[in-house]
Amino acid sequence: MTKPLVAIRTVSKNFGEFQALKNVSLDVWPGEVMCLIGASGSGKTTLLRCINQLATIDSGGIWLDGELLGVREHGGKLHRLSEREIGRQRLKTGMVFQRFNLFPHKTALENITEGPTQVQGRKPDEVRAEAIELLRRVGLAAKADSYPAQLSGGQQQRVAIARALAMKPMLMLFDEPTSALDPELVGEVLAVMKELARSGMTMMVVTHELGFAREVADRVVYMDQGAIVEQGRASDVLGAPREERTKAFLSAVI
């Protein structure tokens, strides 16, 4: 029997008084494309950030590929992992940010090769060839030597996707990847993500693009106030929601 790639168990996270995540449990299966939807402040972005440890959880546990994230159990207590070990665990995930966060002082190609050469210590020539292939895959082979400021938002986000893929992650995390884009640029980013989904990549996507969710997601998870309210097949959750809160949210955004 296969095991979930990500197992989230009774995870809570507070920012001061504010409870961002309340006792969340969830499995993500290998090859699954999961869309997380919900109003802002519902905890969906926080959940992603906890999975790649940009945020640390206050209680509960997250297992990625069978390995407990961020802490080690020893003598009945949990001990925080060193920064180096957390860095190693992060390599299993790729993150795409809402605001792209490309490195502005490096070209598109250098953004992609930075991680594999600097962090994984791989050969520059080999990495470069792979990076050019990745740029071709996201349709930007001609922009290899452009700096981020010379690219449109959609192009920057596609470079950011290529940068994340260059690390050969097992899981791709997308944090509202199209929210900062002009409407006419959303399509090109979604097209790259669809291609990625078809290639069998496990993906967790925080999004407001319900059309994308309906078309690509294997499962849609609706979150509200730090908890999972409803989840299931896209056609069920989006087409025939059972919970009142889901209905209210969907009628508000459509």
Give contact residues for other proteins (rule: CB under 8 A).
52, 54, 83-84, 87-88, 90-91, 93-95, 97, 99, 101-107, 114-115, 118-120, 145-150, 160, 163-164, 167
**Identity of the residue, 65 or 218, whose beta carbon is nearer to other proteins in the bound complex:** 65
Smallest gap from Cβ 243 to other proteins, in A, equals: 33
**Identity of the residue, 25 or 150, whose beta carbon is nearer to other proteins in the bound complex:** 150
Smallest gap from Cβ 96 to other proteins, in A, equals: 9
**Identity of the residue, 176 or 224, whose beta carbon is nearer to other proteins in the bound complex:** 176
Smallest gap from Cβ 91 to other proteins, in A, equals: 4
Smallest gap from Cβ 245 to other proteins, in A, equals: 30
DSSP classification of residue 179: T
Smallest gap from Cβ 26 to other proteins, in A, equals: 21
**Identity of the residue, 119 or 129, whose beta carbon is nearer to other proteins in the bound complex:** 119
Q: Give CA–CA dist 113/40, Å, rounded.
A: 33
Q: Give CA–CA dist 167/172, Å, rounded.
A: 11
> What's the maximum distance between 2 C-alpha atoms anywhere in the chain?
55
**Identity of the residue, 118 or 235, whose beta carbon is nearer to other proteins in the bound complex:** 118
Q: For residue 40, give the 3-state DSSP assignment.
A: coil
Residue of 140, 138, 154 lying closest to 187 (CA atoms):
154
Find the helix or strand (DSSP H, E) in which 140 lies: none
DSSP classification of residue 149: G
List the helix and strand counts (H, then E) for the chain: 9, 12
Smallest gap from Cβ 98 to other proteins, in A, equals: 9
Smallest gap from Cβ 10 to other proteins, in A, equals: 25
DSSP 51-107: HTTSS--SEEEEEETTEESSEEEETTEEEEPPHHHHHHHHTTEEEE-TT----TTS-
**Identity of the residue, 106 or 214, whose beta carbon is nearer to other proteins in the bound complex:** 106
**Identity of the residue, 148 or 226, whose beta carbon is nearer to other proteins in the bound complex:** 148
Q: Give CA–CA dist 94/161, Å, rounded.
A: 8
Listed in sequence order, the residues at least 6 apart from 11 whose beta carbon sits closer than 8 Å to its beta carbon are 21, 23, 24, 25, 47, 50, 57, 59, 60, 61, 62
